[in-house]
Amino acid sequence: MFKILLVSPPFCDFYATGARNEPLGLLYIRKSLEGMDGVEVHLHDSLLSGRKKRLKTPSEFDYLEEIYCEDRSLFSLLNGFYRFGDSCGGIIGRIKSGGYDLVGVSCMFTGYYPDAEKLISLIKKETGSLVVAGGWAVDAGGTRLFEKSRADFFLVGAGEHSMPLLAGALMGDMKLEDVPGLIYRCGGAVRSVPPAQWAVPDYFPGRMDFYRWNGKRIAKMITGTGCGHACPFCAVGRYRKRSARGLDSIDRELGYLSSAGVEVVDFEDDNIFSDPETAPALLRILKNHHAGGISYAAMNGMTASNIRGRVNDIIDAGFIEINLSLVASGLFRARPFGTDVIDEIVREINGRVKTIVYLIAGLPGSSPADLMSDIIHLAALPVTIGISPLYLLPGIPDLEKIGLPENHALCRGSALYKFGDGFSREDVASAWKFVRMINRVKAGPDGSVEEYSENLHYFRKSIREKTWHRKLKNGNWARGFSFGIDLPENIDIMTCDGRMAGFK
């Protein structure tokens, strides 16, 4: 028997978004291998345990010391560095005791690749297993990344198609050079086989374990893969053209998830509802299953132009949250829509479901003034603002021009490493703090009125002095880092339930 273990590895960062950790790609790969003669496959999801361990912040992040520090104010950022998921030692123990021939490690984010590589190196050092790595970080890094990796193979592209072929090749059924997307070494040289464009499978993976979100059983799902757009900061449209799943298959998977007690399905599509022909039928299917108890979200974000004129149907179908990715309105020519479409959608939603609109701070082609104008615009709408500092990706010309760090750990958003022209690290961090306070005002005071007023006082004082004040454990306030971006001392803020407010 050829034994394969698929591993969703732990990662280390200042924060984690727990709701989106289910390893859907590995679940698909497991399903694709389950029917193969002579193959036994298992999955180790390191994040399912929910383990979180505080670590000493690595010295590579020393430059963030003044930005991520002790702060108990309502406009604080991050503080503390953690490992999320199981320890590498536990995973190595499982590989050794299971006697696996091949270990597949998913590497979904370039910024977390060094954590995955650490695990790969340990597997190579301490076990006799072959290692294959795949996922978006591998797609983006390609042979450049492979040359420095201890992995035996990289698989670029859709693993649910190519992993069975790699397993077949390793069992002697075909040659390595016939496995699309494979990167490997041969006689000391690195070789790569061009990846193929595969259609999204119509089968779906079984689940044995479930994550919870707001106390509810949640599962990830897709209605298709890829995207037909080519936004200048995004890898998706570059690597994967849109491929939609059959509606019958979606219907069957929702029936299966419903019978498994799933209460919320999170669509992780890159471009859900992108096909106007099938969107009405898809919505009818979702609505049928909503009647059976399933609600929906699309936390990876919806393209606002895809849902114009469909908002009522989307809410009727059972969406309990609408996530829209504005990104940066200054880039509207390179994006499928601008602020006007966001305004139209938010008007149609009319406060009926929680709405989050996402911005990326520090994108090349935008400016601090553009970012502030977007923040102020969104502050006056009944939405929560989601702001992500720019994360750097190899292979995207606009981002490569900024100068990618040799150490990929610095590519993650929380590293606040480098931005487009005009943005300093302190400015991006300050815009982020500004948004934190706006969202607090939108949500309403949490705690005593005195504490809320004290926070607003120091928030406004920080803006006037262009130096942040932070609240210490003993209740005193101390001066923090300074910034240059112009932040208004007061703006119009609409709360999520439609009341007007401000920083008063």
Residues that bind ligand SF4 (CB under 6 A): 227, 229-231, 234, 236-237, 270-271, 303, 336
**What is the nearest approach in angstroms of ligand SF4 to the Cβ of residue 336?**
6
**What is the nearest approach in angstroms of ligand SF4 to the Cβ of residue 390?**
13
**What is the nearest approach in angstroms of ligand SF4 to the Cβ of residue 267?**
13
The 8-class DSSP code of residue 273 comes to T
Cα(19)–Cα(16) distance, rounded to whole angstroms? 9
Cα(395)–Cα(416) distance, rounded to whole angstroms? 19
237 or 255: whose CB is closer to ligand SF4? 237
Residue in this structure with the two tokens 């890898």, named with its chain if needed: 235
237 or 338: whose CB is closer to ligand SF4? 237
Q: Pairing between strand 81-84 and 11-13? A: antiparallel
**What is the nearest approach in angstroms of ligand SF4 to the Cβ of residue 138?**
18
Residue type, 13: D
**Class of residue 188 by CB neighbours under 10 A (exposed 0-12, middle 13-18, buried 19+):** exposed
81 or 337: whose CB is closer to ligand SF4? 337
48 or 236: whose CB is closer to ligand SF4? 236
**What is the nearest approach in angstroms of ligand SF4 to the Cβ of residue 360?**
10
Cα(11)–Cα(47) distance, rounded to whole angstroms? 9
255 or 395: whose CB is closer to ligand SF4? 395
Q: Give Cβ neighbours of residue 229 (< 8 Å, ≥ 6 apart).
A: 237, 271, 303, 335, 336
Note whether 339 and 374 are within 8 A (CB). yes
**What is the nearest approach in angstroms of ligand SF4 to the Cβ of residue 226?**
8
86 or 268: whose CB is closer to ligand SF4? 268
379: tokens are 């502050």
**What is the nearest approach in angstroms of ligand SF4 to the Cβ of residue 224?**
11
Percentages (nearest 5) of helix, strand, coil residues in the chain: 40, 20, 40
- Residue 440 phi, psi (nearest 5): -65, -45
127 or 271: whose CB is closer to ligand SF4? 271
Cα(411)–Cα(111) distance, rounded to whole angstroms? 5
